[in-house]
Amino acid sequence: MHSTLKSMLLGTAVGDALGVPVEFHSRTSLREKPVTGMRGYGSHNQPPGTFSDDTSLTLCLAESLTRGFDLQDQARQFLKWLQEDYWTARGDLFDIGFSTDSALTAISRGVPPEESGANEENSNGNGSLMRISPLLFHLHSKPAKERFHLTRIASGVTHAHIRSVAGCYYYLEFLRELYDGPHSLNLPCSACFP
């Protein structure tokens, strides 16, 4: 499991670094100039290989989970990232989503993490989805009801809307099946990895 976790975290950082320079680019522009290697100085004016808040918050969650599932600790890790540039690629926080910013600001003002994430229609983005993958290793062998409950709580720190929670849950369920092997999806490997 340890090497799988390391591989997942490395893949997250590399994929994120590939995407940072072209964040918000249109599909048309990406078809015309696809990403085929590390670029720099695009959307966020960062050097090649720089990962974003997506990876930073993934690493914060992974570190927190090494101490068990503790929502207060997760919130502390996220605040450390926001206030001290913790787990940033170059010691500089350069990107944060609106819902994440609002939730972490609320936590810094004393709102408990169980209540900090917005659940309005316009706050159901992917900010919790992008960081949730390390939770797989904590909930892998738990019953489905408990997996959903823990996913809802972890997502809800910043994104409590049911669409965000459901997206995280289904993503983790898919990762769980992949972790168990392509056979568990009842698909031939070529269907998973064409």
Residue showing tokens 């992917």: 126
What domains are defined for the chain? 52-192 (1.10.4080.10)
Q: What's the whole-number mean pLDDT along residues 111-119? A: 97
140-192, pLDDT tens digit by residue? 999 999 999 999 999 999 999 999 999 999 999 999 998 987 665 554 445 44
Per-residue confidence at 193, pLDDT binned at 50, 70, 90?
very low
Residue 38 clears pLDDT 90, i.e. is over it: yes
Q: If you search the block for the tokens 């409950």, which residue do you land on?
A: 149
CA distance linking residue 92 with residue 180, whole number of Å: 37
Answer whether residue 37 shows pLDDT above 70.
yes
CA 5 – CA 194 distance, rounded (Å): 24
Question: What does the pLDDT read at residue 31?
Answer: 95
The string of DSSP letters for 123-165 reads: G--STTGGG-GGGHHHHTTS-HHHHHHHHHHHHHTTB-SHHHH
The pLDDT value given to residue 84? 98
CA distance 172 to 137: 10
